A and B are shown apart, each in its own frame.
Chain A
Amino acid sequence: MNRTARTRALITCLLLSGCYTAFSFRLVHLQVTQHGEYAARAADIHVKRQTIYARRGVIYDIHGESLAQNEPVRTVVADGTLINDREELADFLAHALKLPRAEVLEKLGREKFSQSRQKNIPDQYVILKKQVPEMLATELKDALAARKLRGVYFEQESTRVYPNGQMLCHVVGFVNGESVGVDGVERTMERFLRGHDGFRYTERDRTGKEIVPYRAQEKEARNGCNVRLTIDIGLQNIVEQELDAAIKQFRPKSATVILMRPQTGEILALANRPNFNLNVQENVPLDHRRNRALSDMVEPGSTFKIVTTAAALTERIVKSGTLIHCENGFMASAKLRDHHPYADLSVNDILVKSSNIGVAKLAIQLGDQKFYEYVRRFGFGERSAVNLPGEISGIVHPPHRWSKISITRMPMGHEVAATPLQIVTAMCAIANGGRLMMPQIVSEITDDQGRIVTSFPPQEVRRVASKEATDAVNEALQQVVGPKGTAQLARVAGFTVAGKTGTSQKLGADGRYGHDKYVVSFAGYMPAENPAFVGLVLLDEPQAKPGQTYGGLVAAPVFSRIGEKAARYLGLVPSPEEPAGSVMAGQNVRSR
Chain B
Amino acid sequence: MSSNRRRHANAIPIASFASWGIVALCALGGGLGYVWCKNQLYTTGTEIRALERELSGLRNKNEVTLSKIAQLSSTATLNERFATGFIDLVPITNDVIAVVDDAAPKAAVGELRPASNEREEK
Binding site for B on A (CB under 8 A): 55, 65-66, 69-72, 133-135, 138, 156, 158, 161, 163-167, 210-213, 233-234, 236-237, 241, 493-494, 564, 568, 573-574, 576
Contacts and interface: CB of A to CB of B under 8 A. Distances in A.
A156 B55 CA distance: 14
A233 to B, nearest CB: 5
Contacts of B73: 65, 163
Contacts of B74: 65-66, 163-164
Contacts of A66: 70, 74
B81 interface: no
B94 to A, nearest CB: 7
8 contacts: A65-B74, A65-B75, A71-B67, A133-B64, A156-B60, A163-B74, A237-B75, A494-B99
Contacts of B94: 493, 564, 568
Contact of B79 (A69, A212, A237, A564): A237
Interface size classification for chain B: 20 to 34
B63 A233 contact: no
B67 A161 contact: yes
B70 A213 contact: no
B contact face: mostly helix, strand, loop, or mixed = helix
A543 B49 CA distance: 66
B32 interface: no
Nearest to A279: B71
B75 A69 contact: no
B41 interface: yes
A568 B75 CA distance: 17
B54 to A, nearest CB: 11
A244 to B, nearest CB: 10
Contact of A156 (B48, B56, B79): B56
Nearest to A165: B76
Contacts, number: 72
B111 interface: no
Interface in B70-109: 70-71, 73-77, 79, 94, 97, 99, 101-102
Interface in B1-50: 41-42, 44-46, 48-49
A205 B101 CA distance: 74
B60 A69 contact: no
A66 B42 CA distance: 43
A210 B52 CA distance: 12
Contact of B75 (A70, A164, A574): A164
Contact of A213 (B41, B67, B75): B41
Contacts of A576: 101
Given A70-B67, A573-B102, 9 more contacts: A133-B64, A135-B64, A158-B63, A164-B74, A166-B76, A212-B48, A213-B41, A236-B75, A493-B94
A573 B101 contact: yes
A contact face: mostly helix, strand, loop, or mixed = mixed
A213 B42 contact: yes
Contacts of B49: 210, 212
A210 B46 CA distance: 8
B71 A163 contact: yes
Given A69-B66, A237-B75, A212 B56 contact: no
A161 B71 contact: yes
A463 B70 CA distance: 42
B92 to A, nearest CB: 8
A211 B63 contact: no
Given A69-B70, A164-B75, A165-B76, A212 B64 contact: no
Given A165-B76, A493-B94, A212 B67 contact: no
- Residue of A158, A164, A234 ringed by the most chain B CB atoms within 10 A: A164
A234 B75 CA distance: 8
A71 B64 contact: yes
Contact of A70 (B48, B63, B102): B63
A213 B45 contact: yes
A233 B75 contact: yes
Contact of B99 (A70, A164, A574): A574
Given A166-B76, A237-B79, A71 B45 contact: no
Contact of B70 (A161, A211, A573): A161
A581 to B, nearest CB: 15
B29 to A, nearest CB: 22
A237 B45 CA distance: 52
- Residue of A163, A213, A564, A573 ringed by the most chain B CB atoms within 10 A: A163
Contacts of B70: 65-66, 69, 161, 163
Nearest to A234: B75
A69 B64 CA distance: 10
Nearest to B45: A212
Nearest to B57: A138
| 3 shortest interchain CB distances as A-B pairs | A212-B45, A163-B74, A66-B70
Nearest to A71: B67
B97 to A, nearest CB: 7
A156 B64 CA distance: 13
Nearest to B46: A212
A161 B76 CA distance: 13
Nearest to A52: B56
A162 to B, nearest CB: 9
Contacts of A70: 63, 67
B63 A71 contact: yes
A164 B76 contact: yes
A4 B99 CA distance: 126
A408 B61 CA distance: 65
A561 B16 CA distance: 106
A576 B105 CA distance: 15
B50 to A, nearest CB: 10
Contacts of B48: 212
A564 B97 CA distance: 13
A72 B64 contact: yes
A215 B67 CA distance: 33
